[in-house]
C-alpha cells in the first residue's frame, strides 16, 4: 500500500474515534441545553426543535423571575407563576457552602499534610494508612449517625444543628484524607533544604511553612480546591439529609426535588442543570492560572 494511502487510512480511523468520543460527551450536553429552552416539561430528547417551541420560561423559573404560563391553549387562559423558593437560591446556597468548605479543606488538609510530610511523630505512617482506609468507606454509610449527632447538637447549639449550613460544612470537612494524601505527596517532592535554609534565616517552622512551602505549593492547592468544590456542588446524599427545608437546599438536592415522582419538571431541571455548570466553569477559569508547573523551578537542583 502506498504510504500516503496508509497515512490517510490511519487519519480517518483516528479522527472517527475522536469524533465519536466528542459526540458522546457533547450530544447529551446539547440535549439538556435544548430541553431548557423548550416549551413544556419534556425530558431531553431530540437535537432538533421547532422555532415556535422556544421559550425562556424555564430559565425565568430558575432565576426566580415571575412569568405567565399557558393553562389551556384553546381558551388562551394563562397563570402567573412565582416559584415559592427560586432555584437560584439553591444555587447561591451551594456556592456559599462549597466555597467555605473548600477553603476549610485547604486549611485543614494543608496543615495536616505538612505534619505528615515534615514532622516525625508516633504512629505517623499508621495514621496515614488509617486515613486512606477510612476514606474507602462511603460517607453515606455514616449518614444516620450524622443525623442523630446533628439533631443532638442542634438542641444545644441551634446554629450547628440540622438544617444549618455550618453543620453541612462541618461534615464536608471530615472527608479530607484523600486531599491530605495528595498535598503530602506534593510536599514530598519539594526539597526540605529550602525550609532548612529559611530556618537558618530566622524563620520559625510556621513562618517557613507559610512563606516558603505554601507559595511553592499553590498548584496542588488549586487542584484540591477545584476538586472539592466540584464534588460539593454535586453532592446529594449528605446535603439531602442535613438540609431539609426548601429554602436551605443546595443545588443537587434542589434539582432533584424538581423531578418529583408525580410531576417531573424536566424543563426546569434542565435549566438548573445548565446553570450549575456555571460556577464550576468559573472556578476552573479562576484556578487554571495557578495550576502551572515550574513554580518550584530554580530553587533546588534535583
- Minimum Å gap between C-beta 204 and another protein is 8
When binding is defined by CB under 8 A, the residue of 16, 20, 174, 193 that contacts another protein is 193
Helix (H) or strand (E) holding 144, with range, is: helix 143-156
Is there binding between residue 293 and another protein (CB under 8 A)?
A: no
What is the Cα–Cα distance from 23 to 66, expressed in whole angstroms? 36
Q: Which residue reads 459526540 in cell numbers?
A: 23
Q: Which helix (H) or strand (E) holds 67?
A: strand 67-72
Can you tell me which of 202, 262, 281, 285 binds another protein, judged by CB under 8 A? 202
**194 lies in the binding site for another protein (CB under 8 A):** yes
Q: Read off the C-alpha cell for 65.
A: 423571575
C-alpha to C-alpha distances, 70 to 49, 54, 66, 83, 178, nearest whole angstrom: 19, 14, 13, 16, 51
Q: Is 131 in the site for another protein (CB under 8 A)?
A: no
Q: Nearest distance from residue 217's CB to another protein, in Å?
A: 10
Could you tell me which residues are beta bridge partners of residue 38? 54
Which cell is 37 given? 429552552
Q: List phi, psi (to 5°) of 46.
A: -80, 160
Which residue among 6, 10, 68, 124 contacts another protein (CB under 8 A)? 124
CA distance 77 to 71: 5
8-16, 200-208, 239-247, 278-286 -> range binding another protein (CB under 8 A) = 200-208
d(CA 168, CA 153): 13
Distance of alpha carbon 158 from alpha carbon 152, whole angstroms: 10
Q: Per rule CB under 8 A, is residue 122 in the interface with another protein?
A: yes
Among 4, 74, 121, 285, binds another protein (CB under 8 A): 121
Residue from 39, 89, 118, 199 touching another protein (CB under 8 A): that is 199
Count the residues of the shown chain that bind another protein, applying the rule CB under 8 A.
30
By rule CB under 8 A, what string of x and - marks binding of each residue 210-239 to another protein?
Answer: --x--xx-----------------------
Which 14-33 residues touch another protein, going by CB under 8 A?
A: none
Closer to another protein by CB, 143 or 295: give it: 295
> Which residues of this chain interact with another protein, rule CB under 8 A?
120-125, 191, 193-194, 196-203, 207, 212, 215-216, 294-302
Amino acid at each position: 500500500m502506498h504510504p500516503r494511502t496508509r497515512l490517510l487510512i490511519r487519519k480517518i480511523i483516528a479522527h472517527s474515534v475522536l469524533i465519536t468520543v466528542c459526540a458522546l460527551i457533547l450530544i447529551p450536553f446539547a440535549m439538556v441545553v435544548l430541553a431548557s429552552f423548550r416549551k413544556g416539561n419534556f425530558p431531553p430528547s431530540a437535537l432538533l426543535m421547532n422555532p415556535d417551541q422556544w421559550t425562556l420560561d424555564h430559565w425565568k423559573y430558575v432565576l426566580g423571575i415571575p412569568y405567565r404560563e399557558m393553562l389551556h391553549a384553546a381558551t388562551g387562559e394563562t397563570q402567573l407563576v412565582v416559584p415559592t423558593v427560586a432555584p437560584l437560591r439553591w444555587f447561591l446556597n451551594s456556592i456559599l457552602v462549597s466555597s467555605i468548605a473548600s477553603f476549610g479543606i485547604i486549611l485543614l488538609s494543608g496543615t495536616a499534610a505538612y505534619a505528615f510530610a515534615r514532622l516525625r511523630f508516633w504512629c505517623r505512617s499508621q495514621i496515614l494508612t488509617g486515613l486512606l482506609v477510612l476514606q474507602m468507606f462511603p460517607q453515606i454509610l455514616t449518614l444516620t449517625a450524622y443525623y442523630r449527632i446533628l439533631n443532638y447538637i442542634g438542641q444545644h447549639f441551634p446554629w450547628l444543628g440540622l438544617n444549618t449550613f455550618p453543620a453541612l460544612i462541618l461534615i464536608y470537612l471530615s472527608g479530607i484524607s484523600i486531599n491530605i494524601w495528595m498535598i503530602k505527596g506534593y510536599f514530598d517532592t519539594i526539597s526540605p533544604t529550602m525550609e532548612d535554609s529559611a530556618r537558618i534565616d530566622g524563620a520559625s517552622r510556621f513562618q517557613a511553612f507559610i512563606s516558603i512551602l505554601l507559595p511553592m505549593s499553590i498548584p496542588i492547592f488549586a487542584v484540591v480546591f477545584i476538586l472539592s468544590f466540584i464534588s460539593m456542588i454535586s453532592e446529594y446524599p449528605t446535603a439531602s439529609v442535613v438540609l431539609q427545608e426548601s429554602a436551605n437546599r443546595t443545588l443537587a438536592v434542589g434539582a432533584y426535588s424538581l423531578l418529583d415522582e408525580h410531576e417531573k419538571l424536566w424543563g426546569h431541571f434542565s435549566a438548573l442543570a445548565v446553570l450549575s455548570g456555571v460556577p464550576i466553569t468559573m472556578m476552573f477559569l479562576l484556578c487554571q492560572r495557578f495550576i502551572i508547573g515550574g513554580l518550584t523551578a530554580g530553587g533546588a537542583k534535583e
